[in-house]
Structure 1
Amino acid sequence: MEKQTAKDDYGRVINDLQLLREDLASLTKAVAEGQRSSANNLKDEINREAHAVFDNLRKRGDAALTRATEAGSQTVENVEHKIEERPFLSIILMFLAGIIVGKMLDR
C-alpha cells in the first residue's frame, strides 16, 4: 500500500512538474510577445513624434523662406526704384564700387 502511495505521489509530482514547465513556457512566450508589442508601440510612437517634429520644422522653414523671399523681392524693388530715380548717380556708384572691388582683388 505504501509503495502504491509513493508511486502515486511520484506520478503526481512528475505531472505537476510537466504542468509547471508548460506554464513557464506559456508565461515566457506571453512576456516575449508583450515586450515585442511594447517595443512596436514605442517604435510607432517615436515615428509619429518624428513625423510631427519634421512637419513642424518644414512649416517653419517654409515660412522663413517665404519671409526671406519677400524681403529679397522688396529690396530688389527698392534698389530698382532708386536706380530709376537717379540713373546717372547709380552708374557712377557702380563704377566706383567696381574699382574698389578690383583693387581689393589685385592684392
Structure 2
Amino acid sequence: MEAKSGQDEYNQVKKDLQQLREDLASLTRAVSEGQKSNISSLRDEIRRESREAFDQVRQHGQDALNRAKDAGDKAIHDVEHKIEERPFLSVVLMFLLGVLVGKLLDR
C-alpha cells in the first residue's frame, strides 16, 4: 500500500510539474503578446508626437520667414518712399557711395 501511495504521489507531482510548465509557457506567451502590443502603441505614439513636433517647428519657421519677408518688404518700401521724396539727393548719395566703393576696391 505504501508503494502504491508513493507511486500515486510521484504521478501527481509529475502532473503538477507538467501543468506548471504549461502555465509558464502560457504566461510567457501572454507577456510576449502584451509587450508586442505595448511596443506597437509606443511606436505609434512616438511617430505621432514627432510629427506634431515637426509640424510645430515648420510652422514656427514659416512664421519667422513671413516676419522677415514683411520686414524686408517694409524696408524696401521705406527706401523707395525716401527716394521718391528726394530723388536728387538720392542720386547724389548713390554716386558718392559708388565713388567711395570704387576707391576702396582700387586699393
Smaller-chain TM-score bracket: 0.7 to 0.9
TM-score, normalised relative to structure 2: 0.84
- Whole-angstrom distance in 1 between the partners of 2:103 and 2:28: 80
Please give the per-residue CA displacement for 1:7-51, whole angstroms capped at 9, x wherever unaligned. 221111111111111111111121122222222222222222212
Partner of 1:92: 92
SS at structure 2 position matched to 1:73? helix
Q: What TM-score results when the alignment is normalised by the length of structure 1?
A: 0.84
User: Percent of aligned positions with the same letter in both sequences?
Assistant: 58
Provide the alpha-carbon RMSD of the alignment.
1.8
Distance across 2 between alignment mates of 1:92 and 1:43: 66
Structure 2 gaps of 5+ residues are: none
Instruction: Tell me the equivalent position of 1:54.
Output: 54
Counterparts of 1:46 and 1:106, CA distance in 2: 60
Structure 1 segments unaligned to the other structure (5+ residues): none
